[in-house]
Structure 1
Amino acid sequence: MPITDAVVHEIAMRWADIDSLNHVNNVVYVDYASEARAVLGEAVADAPVRSMSVRFLQPLLLSREPVAVASAVDGATVTQQIRRRGSDAVFAEIRTELGALRPIPPHPAGGMPFAMAVRRSDLDQSGNVSLPKLFQLVQELRILFVSEQVQQMQAGRFVVGTVAVEQARPVPWRAEPYAARARLTRVGAGSITIESEILDEDAVLVRSTSVMVGFDAQHQRSRRLDDDERAIFEATLDAS
């Protein structure tokens, strides 16, 4: 349902916004939301972001028409919807919680280890990794995990349903990569859940939870997992 009493900001689309399925890449929605949040006033634009979740409702294709980001502020919560100009159809909804960062308890299970390098271009004006780039880093972790351990997740058979990212501490640039880890935490009828973290020694800097939904690329709609996929994912879950 479209949010009411919203401030609407239009943003031009770019070819670079599109992924291999010709959909707007999930990281780009965060970029759209951050761009629109910047015009909501200093109290919102300059506040630290404690967490952000993105719920993907339908694929958004490239267009010469700009996207319209409708933003509504309720205390420390900013709710934003990605729409087409002149339409109430919602392609994604982003919920941002503002406020002081809080520690994140470490996960009891180890997960698959990775090394995650930060680039200078990932940094914002504060010298820390920007919010869109944090989403890009956890996307990278998710793809690495899938390619290493869940190789049966073929291209085009799954899409991202939701992504939630919580930040405990800023992530500055450093020469050595950060430790990271990812694990499969749930297997559902038509989706799986992957959790990933970026670490500084034993401290969790960033945690992300992503729900991957079975997708029928031919008919552009969600689908249930088949028996072979379920068996493979459940074996991976047991091994986590």
Structure 2
Amino acid sequence: MAQRWVDLDAQGHVNNAAVLDYLQEARVAYLSDSPNAHLLGNGIVVVGQQVEYLAPLGFGVGPLTAEVAVGEVGASRFTIAYTLHEGGLLAVRARTTLCLFDFASGRPTRLAPPERAWFAEQAVPLEPLRDVGGWHVGGAAHEHPVAVRWSDIDRYGHVNNTLYFDYVAEARVALYGALLDAPIRTGTGETPERTWLVARQDLTHTRQMVFRREPYVVRTAIGALGRTSSTLAAQIVDPVTGDVAARAVSVVVHGDAHGQPTPLPEPLHAAAARWPAVPGTRAGGRP
């Protein structure tokens, strides 16, 4: 697996959302070489993702290798675990929960006994990722419209799971822009005042998103604030129906021009009172 030049963001490293493409490539390759390869064309949907970013990924730094394993296996769901190494350095740990889904009935469907048996044979105990809490978006939140592009649609006719992280990131950058002067680096020739490093992102899918001309809305609220890190809760909402398509929790570290953690800017503390996230249990959902 190789990093692509187009995966790099304005900060010069692989964008956090692009990592989801790498995970999907690794998962598809793993399942394609298995006795359950036929499931890839029969309605496997992603219902949840957890991604822990341990080190930034560069371009041409070293080979990118992925290790894939099966975790918990249920009647209709199973978990895939990943580690991504760049030149021998552990850069990412992640989990994806997938579900076999019948689009005709709009309901999950059970794995056939041979399908479940193969996953169970591969299953190994997984070390839990750090708990980031069950933050939720309340009544007050920063709101940002996001448009679904035609190219965002996958073979099932709905938005591919990897794009949800893009929508959450767009809204997060817009939130910073509403609070700060020069919130992000915008050009390769400038010296940035600050950087933002995503340390962790969890996302739960609750409804499918489809292509349409009307934008969806990402509502973002601010949860726990540390000295250098902030926890943000987000939800992607259909403003027409009020339905929530996905819920996300992100942990973002504020850094200086060189990426070294520095104290959070004061406007972010003020915004936490204006757009407070609500603590609670971890959000669940079904596709």
TM superposition score normalised by structure 1: 0.82
User: Which one of 73, 80, 83 corresponds to residue 78 of structure 1?
Assistant: 80
- Measure how far apart 1:217 and its partner are: 4.0
Partner of 1:91: 91
Pick closer, same or farther for the CA change 1:202–1:48 going to 2, 3 Å.
same
Pick closer, same or farther for the CA change 1:100–1:150 going to 2, 3 Å.
farther
CA separation in 1, counterparts of 2:58 and 2:27? 22
Conserved 8 A contact 2:209-2:245: yes
1:174-214 deviation digits (Å, cap 9, x = unpaired)? 12111331122221122011222111222211112111112
CA separation in 2, counterparts of 1:119 and 1:38? 23
Partner of 1:113: 143
CA separation in 1, counterparts of 2:22 and 2:170? 19
1:110-156 deviation digits (Å, cap 9, x = unpaired)? 31222211110011011111111111111111111111235574544
CA separation in 2, counterparts of 1:158 and 1:107? 21
User: Aligned runs of 1:117-196 on 2, under 5 Å?
Assistant: 117-151=147-181, 153-155=183-185, 156-196=194-234
The aligned amino acid for 2:164 is L
Query: SS at the partner of 2:168?
Result: helix
CA separation in 1, counterparts of 2:172 and 2:86? 29
Q: CA RMSD in A?
A: 2.5
Q: Does 1:210 align with 2:250?
A: yes
CA separation in 2, counterparts of 1:100 and 1:196? 26
User: Which one of 254, 269, 284 corresponds to residue 234 of structure 1?
Assistant: 269
Pick closer, same or farther for the CA change 1:215–1:108 going to 2, 3 Å.
closer
CA separation in 1, counterparts of 2:39 and 2:91? 23
Partner of 1:6: none
CA separation in 1, counterparts of 2:136 and 2:60? 42
Say which one has the larger Rg: 2
The aligned amino acid for 1:70 is E
Pick closer, same or farther for the CA change 1:106–1:212 going to 2, 3 Å.
closer
After TM superposition, the structure 1 stretch with the greater mean CA deviation from structure 2, 187-196 or 123-132, is 187-196
- Measure how far apart 1:43 and its partner are: 7.3
User: Aligned runs of 1:13-28 on 2, under 5 Å?
Assistant: 13-28=3-18
CA separation in 1, counterparts of 2:17 and 2:151? 15
Identity across aligned pairs (percent)?
Answer: 27
TM superposition score normalised by structure 2: 0.70
Partner of 1:5: none
Conserved 8 A contact 1:55-1:163: yes
Give ranges in structure 2 of 5+ residues lacking alignment.
Answer: 32-36, 102-106, 108-134, 186-193, 276-287
- Measure how far apart 1:107 and its partner are: 3.7
User: Which one of 8, 12, 33 corresponds to residue 2 of structure 2?
Assistant: 12
- Measure how far apart 1:162 and its partner are: 0.9
CA separation in 1, counterparts of 2:171 and 2:245? 14
